[in-house]
Chains A and B, each alone.
Chain A
């Protein structure tokens, strides 16, 4: 039976109440308690810094060459916080409500409310650390609006909010390293959790430089290892982003929550060919001014500017007049797919739609003409002035587009297509962020908890830092207070020995297959199955097929993969093989979960569950629960349901018409 340990009492008092009553660890005891942290993105770096400051002995691990490179760094748009600096009616409740509604009523109320409560502290903390957020001329912080909300609550640092926040957390982390409170292990990958007497007590990690396996003890283990979007091969995730740490935990008894909830971001640069290794996201803010369209004629091969206005289909404006181009991510993504599948796609691949700035350039140009009081401006002058304004607002994004595609977006409409971007699912955790294995925690994107079936823009950074800076320092004490009598367990304990042996055996099994196919080719095939059958639209038939295909792929992988090089050296192909093997198993579970959830909600669209107009249809009566999957054996999982209760934010059908 799942116990989410949500504190009793009114929603807005739960966290205060928890903090007031949770167990504490005194400073002398903290020095004796060791915490292992996997991953150094926003969640991991902030947790390592915060716990180091408290006096715990922390060991932090990342597979990159420096903790500062974690993929949180790539977030562009911003971070939400209920500061109400704009006096536009924002509040903790509104942020809570927007997040629950944006998540299509599949998130836990108590967690989301806590997230909204601590959001304001995050901004304070980051500013104190020296994060250079954008400011107004008066010297105060600037805000912008973001998809799915009606207030301006997004704090940002030009187009690289993620990097600036991560550098803030990284600096705090390095400070603790200098003080000796945190020991940092770069280029290390966690390959197993060590469980002793039912509690997580450490990890087995592989040093990626020399291939050696290492044992590390911890009174508690925190997984801050990010999302698993790379199961689709092509995603906006970094090349190294992987599910391995979370999957090993799953294999050691941690339940996996809502694995099928995947966010597909509508504005990405489309695939250009088979060689494509990853996809690049263009900030959602582009939809504020750009208009999305496809030709009205199928398979129209004319150049975009040869297609007259009346032959263009601004399908989002047509279908959703109230929100137009600003509908939430899941809706915009599905609409693009629908048009392309129906044969209206553009570009050489036909898998793209236009994001057009011509109108915005014209509008801004006219505005400038008025502002500067230019009499009788020619069309050319208007266009030039308009381009200047657009450049100022979106210049870096336009430059990036041009670098990648070689096309000038000021002249030619951009081609965009949806891409896998974020995974709302993750390890199931209770209110205290603990998984079903005592002492094993999951923070940030690695857990399932706060975004339901769809994440709002600028909320991922918020959640990562909330978990690391402000939640785990309290909740981990509640667990470790009972562990003060546990001395550090020597790593020659049989459980460590056995775990290391299992990892070593698996690695040597992998490298000794010596088959014919490369790791990359398996990953690509997995990605294609997942994208085609467990992507933006899913149905029972496709999912059933996908499960079979993935099982077949797994057999083939374990009998025909070819990994060059040796175990005891730097071997990126071996690292990748370890990860892809886990992705294959995860893929199967995602399809099983998607098959089980015969409703459409957020990013999960089941074709069987739609309205007559083709909109998503949620089924609260049957599916208002979190799916928590327990691994029972190869290809076998048991579903545990955590019922969701909405006491404050009453579910309604989302409509953007």
Chain B
């Protein structure tokens, strides 16, 4: 009988925000929305960082990171972007916290495991390993933030450089320094590979989670998702590699 009572009580209940965001679908909604938000951030991040390639011989051998440094400076100079930065961190934290809570809930739904698993016959390994991939990315993020963001925004422990009379951090130099150590380069490449797989599932999954169910669009988004995750991660990975190998100086 308790079941009937539960259902009855619940029917007369209001759908509180807290209920919405703690339901299994609500939690996923948060994951999807923050995920999409982080994807847009990645687009900006990768575009700005790609400015280092302005130094490539085919563009301007004597750029020496000026395009990149100016772009990086812009990202720290307006209040609007600083506010967005706060939002970004909030998004990341929400994505992480909610992700771990979901992972916990999902793992606890099966106390006794199988002797033989379905494995690749049912789904891709990376779609089943979002928690693991996310954790690797998180570890990478900690290192990455301490390498650059902390120095740029908190300790200001970067060499200055002046363009057109404006003094700014020489982030380009910092990158060259950081990426002169082979273990850092390997670490970054690993981080990018994790990101690629995380995105390969996360991109299209986020759209499904926020309710895109039209098959035509789903197919399109899946293809775009694969393209996006490969291109973005590849471009990111190329930076430490290019600097380490001296393609950009």
Complex A-B, nearest 5 residue pairs according to Cβ-Cβ distance, in ascending order: A180-B4, A178-B7, A178-B4, A177-B4, A179-B4
- Residues of the A chain whose Cβ atoms lie less than 8 Å from the Cβ of B8: 180
| A170-229 with Cβ < 8 A to chain B | 177-180
A180–B8 alpha-carbon span in the complex (Å): 10
A179–B4 alpha-carbon span in the complex (Å): 7
Minimal beta-carbon separation of B4 from chain A (angstroms): 5
- Residues of the B chain whose Cβ atoms lie less than 8 Å from the Cβ of A178: 4, 7
| B1-29 with Cβ < 8 A to chain A | 1, 4, 7-8
A179–B7 alpha-carbon span in the complex (Å): 9
B60-72 contact mask (Cβ, 8 Å, vs A): 1 or 0: 0000000000000
- Residues of the B chain whose Cβ atoms lie less than 8 Å from the Cβ of A179: 4
Residue of A nearest to B7 (CB): A178
- Residues of the A chain whose Cβ atoms lie less than 8 Å from the Cβ of B4: 177-180
Minimal beta-carbon separation of A570 from chain B (angstroms): 19
Minimal beta-carbon separation of B39 from chain A (angstroms): 37
Minimal beta-carbon separation of A328 from chain B (angstroms): 44
A177–B6 alpha-carbon span in the complex (Å): 13
A177–B4 alpha-carbon span in the complex (Å): 8
Residue of B nearest to A181 (CB): B4
7 A-B pairs (CB sep. < 8 Å)? A177-B4, A178-B4, A178-B7, A179-B4, A180-B1, A180-B4, A180-B8
A317–B125 alpha-carbon span in the complex (Å): 58
- Residues of the A chain whose Cβ atoms lie less than 8 Å from the Cβ of B7: 178
- Residues of the B chain whose Cβ atoms lie less than 8 Å from the Cβ of A180: 1, 4, 8
Residue of B nearest to A180 (CB): B4
A230–B4 alpha-carbon span in the complex (Å): 37
A178–B7 alpha-carbon span in the complex (Å): 7
A493–B7 alpha-carbon span in the complex (Å): 35
Minimal beta-carbon separation of A180 from chain B (angstroms): 5
Residue of B nearest to A178 (CB): B7
A103–B2 alpha-carbon span in the complex (Å): 48
- Residues of the A chain whose Cβ atoms lie less than 8 Å from the Cβ of B1: 180
A179–B8 alpha-carbon span in the complex (Å): 8
Minimal beta-carbon separation of B5 from chain A (angstroms): 9
A177–B8 alpha-carbon span in the complex (Å): 11
Minimal beta-carbon separation of B6 from chain A (angstroms): 10
Residue of A nearest to B1 (CB): A180
A597–B230 alpha-carbon span in the complex (Å): 79
Residue of B nearest to A179 (CB): B4
- Residues of the B chain whose Cβ atoms lie less than 8 Å from the Cβ of A177: 4
Of A177, A178, A179, chain B has the most CB atoms within 10 Å of the CB of: A178
Residue of B nearest to A183 (CB): B1
Minimal beta-carbon separation of A95 from chain B (angstroms): 40
A426-451 contact mask (Cβ, 8 Å, vs B): 1 or 0: 00000000000000000000000000
| A385-440 with Cβ < 8 A to chain B | none
A179–B1 alpha-carbon span in the complex (Å): 11
Minimal beta-carbon separation of A496 from chain B (angstroms): 22
Minimal beta-carbon separation of B89 from chain A (angstroms): 45
Residue of A nearest to B4 (CB): A180
Minimal beta-carbon separation of B238 from chain A (angstroms): 50
A179–B3 alpha-carbon span in the complex (Å): 10
| A279-311 with Cβ < 8 A to chain B | none
Minimal beta-carbon separation of A655 from chain B (angstroms): 53
A339–B7 alpha-carbon span in the complex (Å): 60
A180–B11 alpha-carbon span in the complex (Å): 14
A178–B4 alpha-carbon span in the complex (Å): 5
| A550-591 with Cβ < 8 A to chain B | none
Residue of A nearest to B11 (CB): A178
Residue of A nearest to B5 (CB): A180
Minimal beta-carbon separation of B145 from chain A (angstroms): 51
A300–B4 alpha-carbon span in the complex (Å): 65
Minimal beta-carbon separation of A442 from chain B (angstroms): 29
A177–B1 alpha-carbon span in the complex (Å): 10
A177–B3 alpha-carbon span in the complex (Å): 10
Residue of B nearest to A177 (CB): B4
Minimal beta-carbon separation of A314 from chain B (angstroms): 45
A180–B2 alpha-carbon span in the complex (Å): 10
Minimal beta-carbon separation of B3 from chain A (angstroms): 8
A197–B8 alpha-carbon span in the complex (Å): 39
Minimal beta-carbon separation of A313 from chain B (angstroms): 48
Residue of A nearest to B6 (CB): A178
Minimal beta-carbon separation of B177 from chain A (angstroms): 65
A178–B8 alpha-carbon span in the complex (Å): 8
Minimal beta-carbon separation of B191 from chain A (angstroms): 48
A275–B28 alpha-carbon span in the complex (Å): 49
Minimal beta-carbon separation of A257 from chain B (angstroms): 39
Minimal beta-carbon separation of B7 from chain A (angstroms): 5
A107–B242 alpha-carbon span in the complex (Å): 89
A180–B1 alpha-carbon span in the complex (Å): 8
Minimal beta-carbon separation of B209 from chain A (angstroms): 26
A177–B7 alpha-carbon span in the complex (Å): 11
A279–B148 alpha-carbon span in the complex (Å): 72
A192–B4 alpha-carbon span in the complex (Å): 29
| B44-75 with Cβ < 8 A to chain A | none
A178–B1 alpha-carbon span in the complex (Å): 9
Minimal beta-carbon separation of B31 from chain A (angstroms): 31
A63-74 contact mask (Cβ, 8 Å, vs B): 1 or 0: 000000000000
| A145-184 with Cβ < 8 A to chain B | 177-180
Minimal beta-carbon separation of B11 from chain A (angstroms): 9
